[in-house]
Amino acid sequence: MSVEEALRTRHAVRAFLPAPVAREEVERLLALASRSASNSNTQPWRVHVLMGAAKHRLTSALLEAFDSGRRIPEAELEYPYQPAPDAWPEPFGARRRRFGEWLYGDVLGIDRGDAVLRAAYHARNYTFFGAPAGLVVTVSRHLLSGALVDAGLFLQALMLAARAAGLDTCPQASLIHFHPVLRDQLGIPDDQIIVCGLALGYADPDHVLCAHRTGREPVESFTVFHDDVPTD
């Protein structure tokens, strides 16, 4: 698969088949992702890979924390990484609302006011959407916010490498809201920032969640070309 095809076909998959992914394959994908650029080649990423009983233990603890209302609000997340602002300025607020209406309304057919069904859907995050592998990516806190750029590059490379191998992914900031559970279960020390979770596996092609794609703003809406032809 070309890089272009991997970019075009990658999307956030939220329903997976139970088919396992071999540990050797995950190692191969991680080795590819580690070819990502990082500031001065510092390679600040660390990855926890959860499969089998270990994944089950973590997801049980996450679901228990979710069900008992122990979600940590946005504003109380770990400095220096807060994945979302307390209030969304425009045009991002409108895009976020459009995404929510698309996912909960168009795709899932859940009414705006149906908090119970919305919560039941959201809980799927904490089983990694049924994927056979769940990953948690962290970076050293000592490198400040610069390491978050490196982590983002690593995550994108990992998602594209997975796609090229016929696998699918979903990045998951939702896990960060339960960072004490992740720290406790995975032994993540305080000097590591938890950046993102990642579901990894084979998409369930027949699931309604896999039948839709998000849109994008056109290039001219986010790009300024400074390409005047010199006049002298």
Ligand X SMILES: Cc1cc2nc3c(=O)[nH]c(=O)nc-3n(C[C@H](O)[C@H](O)[C@H](O)COP(=O)(O)O)c2cc1C
d(CA 160, CA 163): 5
Which residues, including other chains, have CB under 8 Å from residue 126's CB and lie 6 or more apart? Answer: 59, 62, 63, 66, 174, 175, 178
Q: Which residue stretch of 8-16, 65-73, 113-121, 185-193 sits at the interface with ligand X (rule: CB under 6 A)?
A: 8-16
Contact 104, 121 (CB under 8 A): yes
Contact 197, 172 (CB under 8 A): yes
- Work out which of 132, 134, 171, 201 binds ligand X, going by CB under 6 A: 171
CB of 232 to ligand X, least distance (A): 45
Total residues in contact with ligand X, by rule CB under 6 A: 12
- H-run or E-run covering 168: strand 168-172
- H-run or E-run covering 195: strand 192-201
76 versus 232: smaller Cβ distance to ligand X: 76
Give the footprint of ligand X on residues 123-142 (CB under 6 A): 125
* 59 forms part of the interface with ligand X (CB under 6 A): no
14 versus 48: smaller Cβ distance to ligand X: 14
Give the footprint of ligand X on residues 84-103 (CB under 6 A): 99
Rule CB under 6 A: which residues touch ligand X?
11-12, 14, 99, 125, 170-174, 196, 214
